[in-house]
A and B are shown apart, each in its own frame.
Chain A
Amino acid sequence: MTIQTPNGFNLDNSGKRIVVDPVTRIEGHMRVEVNVDENNVIRNAVSTGTMWRGIEVILKNRDPRDAWAFTERICGVCTGTHALTSVRAVENALGITIPENANSIRNLMQLALQVHDHVVHFYHLHALDWVDVVSAISADPKATSALAQSVSDWPLSSPGYFKDIQGRLKKFVESGQLGPFKNGYWGNASYKLPPEANLMAVAHYLEALDFQKEIVKIHTIFGGKNPHPNWLVGGVPCPINVDGVGAVGAINMERLNLVTSIIDQLIEFNDKVYVPDIMAIGSFYKDWLYGGGLSGKNVLAYGDVPEHANDYSEASLKLPRGAIINGNLNEVFPVDLADPEQIQEYVTHSWYKYPDESKGLHPWDGVTEPHYELGPNAKGTKTNIEELDEGGKYSWIKAPRWRGNAMEVGPLARWVVGFAQNKPEFKEPVQKVLTDLGLPTSALFSTLGRTAARALESQWAGYQMRHFQNKLIANIKNGDSATAFVDKWKPETWPKEVKGVGFTEAPRGALAHWIKIKDGKIDNYQCVVPTTWNGSPRDPSGNIGAFEASLMDTPMSDPSQPLEILRTIHSFDPCLACSTHVMSPDGQEMAKVQVR
């Protein structure tokens, strides 16, 4: 039986059910179940996650000025983004402003995190969904060199260089351990790159892994340490003393020059490696335009990177803000995170309890009361679920909706909003990619589009970093060395009861924290993270979430090797298993694929 969802997808769960489950009790927190028809095309998709929950319990009655340090621990990759969102929420609640220098430094930290996350995500997680590592062993290093030189003038491109990389890789594979490459479905028919392109990508995998350590030095310089840099309500924690020599912690010219040089390097890496790789790899996959899901229908961006300190208006934000509904790019709706009618979270299909589950709750009034029960048609037991019942409750992720609509967030959503707003800095690069690949605009709404948007954003972010670095240096040279305002630091200066919201664009999408402060302590704290949007389950009206929508109608070449599912889910840079890395004694296969 086929059911049409209000957001326009035809669900049919009568075919063979495939469970892709990296979820054991301790490793991995995401699971996908799909039904395929007789041609192995996905006709129903169910995504479930064990999201972190109860941050409000941890934060209740804490000092709001410390909340960033807790939220920085939510996720191993979004650390700084959560911290920034948190200090913004507190500042918004208490009416605290920050100096221009702090705004520039925060933008530099946030943009560095964007570039770092995008580069690492693409090369070290997602590329292996497109690149067959084992095939690289049979590449001709000379032909690889010719290919590399045809796509970019990046200097590391000699036949000898690729021969050396190939030798190291070969030794690794022959030792019986594929190491970081153990997880691929090598040889699957869905891999389309010739061996030379695969070898070039493996070389860049290693270069990116080596280079990423330079990018995070920016966090060490401005945040005092890394991992887990420091943040501050009212500004940034690093004093500026340009004439200082070796002063511990203070920003001097030597450190600023190091930041400038790292920015130059990352711009070059984006321009000469990351973006050309996306184009080269994309050219072999341009017939594989599945995975669009909600991206061509409903997208949401909160915006980020304010040009001016304390100005979070649409005009000041360099990453766009807005919502698009039903694919109508001619109308971008304004978004207000403080409006109780706009963002609401539902739990009809989530393992929580509300007094009235037909209604959603705005995060300021959010309730997080766990209620774990399986639907009547689920198979297995509560501790060993064989098959979920999507008709009942089936996920630890709540279902956030914008004016009742399921939304996709992330780099593609941001770029679609910027594109629809006719902003040249977003529209022109997108049009160039499409023209160079010979693809229509509709091709943007795909797994490939999501992956390309991330690369374009990394490139954009590098140039924005240069802008804010220049702005910071000019401002300091003009005699302004303020990095924090502390006039409202003491809780005695605060109103008895206030509320606020802070937002950012995390690498993987729109992120906001809502806070209520009472008598100087946190009274309620709710985070809606990007993967809550993208990984959301169904809602009371039956709208499916972004992950679910993205899998619909995708043909699988071999259901026992769900490469297509992983490729599309990975393209969202999901953020679910934010914490686990527990070792098992024998490196046992923790993921399983069941075809029923």
Chain B
Amino acid sequence: MKAGKPNILVLGIGNILWADEGFGVRAVEAFHRAYKVGDNVTILDGGTQGLYLVQYVRDADYLLVFDAIDYGLVPGTLKLVSDEEVPKFTGAKKMSLHQTGFQEVLSAADLMGGYPEKLALIGCQPVDLEDWGGPVTAPVRAVIPQAIDMAVDLLRNWGADVSRRPAGEAVPPLLENDIDFERYERRRETAALVS
């Protein structure tokens, strides 16, 4: 960590084209829309970049990740996992680069040097991961506001500057060209995304 404030990365990962696989990206997008953060905090839509995210992870002193997780919980359940609990290993025999689990990204950061000092994962149990072109399902969408609240608490605990944006503030969008949350799903009720 450089003198002064830690570099904090708030990262959403997943595929927005694949139903609840989009949770992580949609959560970080909604967080960005609702909250303003200090200069030492980076908000990143990591998509399905896998191992390519390693440099962002190495640059971060503290890392907060939103992602869909399979813990066999009731769909739509949120789970906060911290530090060494966040699994550092992966078991899949890879058939494709894109299967690079995030655990593997963390391991690579560890091996190269630059593992984050603090680490947290806000995970959500998906309902449906196989509905291509499908939107985030209702149970998962419903908990995005809570996921954001969890992130705010956590970031404040880490000493980050996080403040609610005033209503109506123009925010440079994280996702554009019709793939933002409402337009992608062709919904009108934008307000439903934040508590």
Contacts and interface: CB of A to CB of B under 8 A. Distances in A.
Interface of A: 20, 22, 25-30, 50, 52-55, 57-58, 62-63, 65-66, 68-70, 73-77, 79, 120-121, 124-125, 168-169, 172, 177, 179-180, 182-183, 206, 209-210, 212-213, 216, 227-228, 566, 569-570, 573-591
Contacts of A125: 94, 97
A74 B17 contact: yes
B15 A579 contact: yes
A320 to B, nearest CB: 26
B178 A179 contact: no
Contacts of B167: none
B108 A575 contact: no
Contacts of A74: 17
A29 B21 CA distance: 14
Contacts of B44: 227
Q: Please name the 4 residue pairs, one residue from A and one from B, whose CB atoms are nearest each other, closest first.
A: A179-B107, A76-B48, A579-B15, A591-B93
Given A76-B48, A213-B55, A577-B98, A177 B88 contact: yes
B139 interface: no
B80 to A, nearest CB: 13
A588 B69 CA distance: 13
B7 interface: no
B10 interface: no
A25 B107 CA distance: 24
A58 B17 contact: yes
Given A177-B107, A179-B110, A227-B49, A22 B17 contact: no
B101 A52 contact: no
Contacts of B29: none
Contact of A22 (B72, B94, B176): B94
A583 B91 contact: no
A590 B96 contact: no
Given A179-B107, A182-B91, A573-B97, A583 B132 contact: no
Given A63-B178, A179-B104, A216-B52, A587 B95 contact: no
A585 B97 contact: no
A434 B48 CA distance: 37
B102 A583 contact: yes
Contact of B87 (A73, A583, A589): A583
Interface of B: 13-18, 21, 44-55, 67-72, 87-104, 107-108, 110-112, 121, 123, 126, 129-130, 132-133, 175-179
Contacts of B104: 179-180
A582 B91 contact: no
Contacts of A177: 88-89, 107
B96 A120 contact: no
A88 to B, nearest CB: 17
Nearest to A562: B93
Given A120-B97, A583-B101, A209 B112 contact: yes
Contacts of B92: 22, 27-28, 183, 589-591
Nearest to B104: A180
A64 B72 CA distance: 39
Contacts of B13: 581
A75 B16 CA distance: 11
B70 A584 contact: yes
Contacts of A566: 93, 95
A26 B49 contact: no
A586 B178 contact: no
23 contacts: A22-B94, A30-B95, A55-B133, A58-B132, A69-B175, A76-B52, A76-B98, A121-B97, A124-B97, A172-B111, A177-B89, A177-B107, A179-B111, A183-B91, A209-B108, A576-B95, A577-B96, A578-B96, A579-B98, A581-B50, A584-B91, A586-B87, A589-B91
B17 A55 contact: yes
A227 B45 contact: yes
Nearest to B90: A587
Contacts of A569: 95
Contacts of A172: 110-111
B51 A209 contact: yes
Given A121-B97, A578-B96, 7 more contacts: A29-B96, A30-B95, A183-B92, A213-B54, A574-B95, A576-B96, A585-B72
Contacts of B176: 69
A120 B96 CA distance: 12
B86 to A, nearest CB: 8
Nearest to B21: A579
B96 A227 contact: no
Contacts of A121: 97
Contact of A575 (B52, B72, B96, B111): B96
Most chain B beta-carbon neighbours within 10 Å: one of A50, A566, A587: A587
Contacts of B95: 22, 28, 30, 566, 569-570, 574, 576-577, 591
B79 to A, nearest CB: 9
Contacts of B132: 52-55, 57-58
B98 A75 contact: yes
A63 B177 CA distance: 9
A171 B187 CA distance: 52
Contact of B178 (A20, A27, A70, A589): A70
A30 B15 contact: no
A216 B49 CA distance: 12
A120 B52 contact: yes
A180 B97 CA distance: 12
Given A76-B49, A179-B108, A585-B71, A69 B179 contact: yes
A96 B58 CA distance: 42
B129 A69 contact: no
Given A68-B177, A179-B89, A182-B91, A30 B96 contact: yes
A227 B89 contact: no
Contact of A66 (B70, B108, B126, B178): B178
A66 B177 contact: yes
